[in-house]
Amino acid sequence: MAEETAIRKDENVVYIGKKSVMCYVLAVITQFNSGATEVAIKARGKVISRAVDVAEIVRNRFMPDAKIKSIDIKTEELTSEDGSMAKVSAMEITLTK
């Protein structure tokens, strides 16, 4: 698994990328099972909808006692290699159990 495509795991954070939804569901559940009391699901751009899928599947299918602590949206500015700026929407869903 190349480093770029690995699921990034910071402290209690799951970053959503282009893998299948269930990969990220598993990552969230693993963090809770490792003792985390809250897990943040972060996504940017088109995969924001996948972040919602992940949160909903975790809550409805695997952890019915998990709650949505907060949902935040914001705009992030990305600088590409040629120096141009692009704005992209970002979302963070925090689950607690």
Q: Which residues contribute to the site for a second copy (CB under 8 A)?
A: 45-49, 52-53, 55-56, 60, 68, 71-75, 89, 91, 93
User: What letter does residue 60 receive in the DSSP assignment?
Assistant: I
Nearest approach in angstroms of CB 3 to a second copy is 25
A 10 A CB-CB count for 23 gives 14
User: What letter does residue 62 receive in the DSSP assignment?
Assistant: I
Nearest approach in angstroms of CB 69 to a second copy is 12
Nearest approach in angstroms of CB 64 to a second copy is 13
Collapsing DSSP to helix, strand or coil, 81 comes out as: coil
